[in-house]
Amino acid sequence: MDASTAVYAADGSINQDITCKKCGYNLRGLRENGLCPECATPVGRSVTGDLLRFADPAWVGRVAFGLNLIVLGIVITILLGCTGGVLAAMSGSALLSQIAGYVGIVINAVGIWCMTSPDPSGIGEDARVNARRIVRTTMLIHVAGSIAPSLWLHPLSGQFVTALLALLGFANGIVHLVCEWFKFFFYQSLALRVPEPTLARRARFLRYAYAAALGLGIIGGIMLFADAAAFAPPGVAMLAPPATLPAPGTAPPALSYGVSRRTVLSFPGGGTTPFSPGGGPLTYIGGILLAVAGLAAVIFGLLTLLLVLRLRRVMSIQAQLARQTWARAVSTQAPTT
């Protein structure tokens, strides 16, 4: 390693006061391929930095498994979504498309949960708020915000439900934006611990690019919502609730608000929201922004898939190297008879 002449003595032992990154034990006199006597963390991790090949192999393997699930979720969503779209065009039912979306969301969520497992060494866990915790929290909120309104409110109709779904879609879109921002930051931090500077730079670029696409979609949706509110029929309040709302799973009452035309807004990461456009200038600007955001989301989504595929392969290799590193360290310190 680069710092061997400064850190190691002639016999290969550490000749400086270097503390273990996990427990703080003074590692002077130990070798790089050994283990800390207090916490059994590889000595090389404290000398060379936070490289993944010195990390707990079980944890690195769990991160790689999470990346595999994320890729699987994307592939299943695309395949079932395309199949469901064809069947929906033939039968008029979008049930399979909805199921594909739910399956993809759940698999992706499990993958993110595994990928963001805490490092057993405690590295990166000093602060109460960090990228790993933010990704987990916002991911759970986004999953709930994507599935729950679709199951309960979408079967209903009326201007109030339409406005409520739109507001929930905007809020969920913002949560999704925060989740993606810190998820790409987490990708970048993993790449730097390999180290893979090219992957780190790609993750950093996609962090800004994907966030910009999601932001455009949210702004476009807000413009359409504002225009629909401005052009609402006289005397109709966008957020005036109906007299009663049925319990989940029961048939909705007949609601009539005089809405003559409806469309469906698709928010990147936020599901679909039935809406009544107003026809003013904000409608056209918002529609253009949504179209640009949708195209950008597709392009950056494909680039993200390539990034995750590459990172998945790298993490699998690092897990294997970590197992070899820990095996050598254990065999070095095993007592001889």
Burial status of residue 337 (CB atoms within 10 A of its CB: 0-12, 13-18, 19 or more): exposed
Does 337 map to a domain?
no
Query: What is the Cα–Cα distance from 150 to 137, expressed in whole angstroms?
Result: 21
Count: domains in the chain: 2
Last residue of some domain: 9, 33, 49? 49
Confidence of residue 5 (pLDDT cuts 50, 70, 90): very low
CB 159 within 8 A of CB 240: yes
Average model confidence (pLDDT) across the chain? 75
**Neighbouring C-beta atoms of residue 298, cutoff 10 Å:** 12
Q: Between these two residues, 182 and 234, which has the higher pLDDT value?
A: 182
Tokens of 72: 């699987």
- Looking at the fold, whether 148 and 240 belong to one and the same domain comes out as yes
pLDDT at site 131: 86
Mean pLDDT of 206-223: 87
Whose structure tokens read 């759940």? 106
- Looking at the fold, whether 109 and 15 belong to one and the same domain comes out as no
Does 331 map to a domain?
no
Q: Between these two residues, 40 and 279, which has the higher pLDDT value?
A: 40
- Looking at the fold, whether 99 and 163 belong to one and the same domain comes out as yes
Burial status of residue 118 (CB atoms within 10 A of its CB: 0-12, 13-18, 19 or more): middle
Confidence of residue 328 (pLDDT cuts 50, 70, 90): low
pLDDT at site 244: 46
For residue 148, CA distances in Å to 99, 102, 336 come to 13, 11, 60
First to last CA, the chain: 32
- Looking at the fold, whether 187 and 313 belong to one and the same domain comes out as yes
Q: Between these two residues, 101 and 232, which has the higher pLDDT value?
A: 101
Tokens of 129: 């708020």
Closest CA to 141 of 176, 181, 186: 176
DSSP code, position 264 = E
187 contact partners, CB below 8 Å, separation of at least 6: 199, 203, 307, 308, 311
CB 180 within 8 A of CB 211: yes
Query: What is the Cα–Cα distance from 218 to 117, expressed in whole angstroms?
Result: 30
Query: What is the Cα–Cα distance from 246 to 254, expressed in whole angstroms?
Result: 11
Extract the runs of DSSP E, i.e. beta strands, from 238-278: 263-267, 271-275
Mean pLDDT of 133-139: 93
Q: Taking 90 as the threshold, does the pLDDT of residue 127 lie above it?
A: no
- Looking at the fold, whether 129 and 44 belong to one and the same domain comes out as no
Residues facing residue 257 across a β-bridge: none
88 contact partners, CB below 8 Å, separation of at least 6: 94, 96, 97
- Looking at the fold, whether 42 and 108 belong to one and the same domain comes out as no
Confidence of residue 267 (pLDDT cuts 50, 70, 90): very low
- Looking at the fold, whether 68 and 42 belong to one and the same domain comes out as no
Does 328 map to a domain?
no
**pLDDT, tens digit, for every residue of 162-207?**
667 777 878 888 898 899 999 999 999 999 988 899 999 999 999 9
236 contact partners, CB below 8 Å, separation of at least 6: 159, 257, 258
- Looking at the fold, whether 168 and 81 belong to one and the same domain comes out as yes
**pLDDT, tens digit, for every residue of 46-105?**
776 678 887 888 899 999 999 999 998 888 777 766 666 666 666 665 666 677 678 888
Give the range with max mean pLDDT: 43-52, 141-150, 173-182, 266-275. Answer: 173-182
Structural domain of residue 44, as residue ranges?
A: 1-49
Question: 3-class SS at 31?
Answer: strand
Tokens of 205: 């670029």
Question: 3-class SS at 141?
Answer: helix
